[in-house]
């Protein structure tokens, strides 16, 4: 019989003994400083890009709304992603950089916490929602925008230590 908790050589951590979805119990893990950074891009038309950088967007300041949306989403990740832990006291910052070469936006989010589990999902959620908010703010000017390359860039802390995208 196949063990539902094994996948190749790795044990699946989000399954109970019967193979049902379960939250990982981290209560016995030590609280350590943890950090994760994620990034992604939004590509848009030149007209939408002009609204973004020159202002005049009827819905308001794209960067500020996207930044706040990303921060709010990062803080609520445990409510949005099944089996993801709630992380009280997590800090989430979102940096948005217009890029004429795309044209579009580059979004980077950093999440930090002193806790028992990592903050990779918080950083990724912050980036994804910031990009979605920017899309929503600009969609009247360009419905063909694309959200691309949302990914973890680096993480540190916890049992697995540090990792950087360049180490793939």
List residues with catalytic annotation. 136
What is the rounded CA–CA span in Å between residue 6 and residue 26? 19
Tell me the C-alpha distance between 126 and 132, whole Å. Answer: 10
Q: Prior bond to 126 cis, omega within 30?
A: no
Q: And the tokens for 14?
A: 């989000």
> What is the SS3 assignment for 71?
helix
């Amino acid at each position: 019989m196949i063990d539902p908790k094994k996948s190749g050589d790795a044990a699946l951590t989000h399954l109970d003994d019967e193979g049902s979805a379960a939250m990982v119990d981290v209560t016995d893990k030590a609280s350590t400083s943890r950090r994760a950074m994620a990034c992604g891009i939004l590509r848009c038309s030149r007209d939408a890009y002009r609204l973004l950088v020159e202002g005049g967007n009827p819905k308001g300041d794209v960067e500020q709304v996207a930044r706040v949306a990303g921060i709010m989403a990062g803080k609520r990740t445990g409510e949005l992603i099944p089996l993801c832990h709630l992380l009280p006291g997590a800090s989430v910052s979102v940096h948005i950089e217009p890029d004429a070469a795309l044209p579009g936006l580059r979004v980077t989010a950093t999440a930090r916490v002193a806790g028992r589990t990592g903050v990779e999902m918080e950083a990724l959620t912050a980036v994804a929602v910031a990009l979605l908010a920017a899309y929503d703010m600009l969609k009247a000017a360009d419905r063909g925008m694309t959200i691309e390359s949302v990914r973890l860039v680096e993480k540190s802390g916890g049992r697995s230590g540090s990792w950087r995208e360049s180490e793939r």
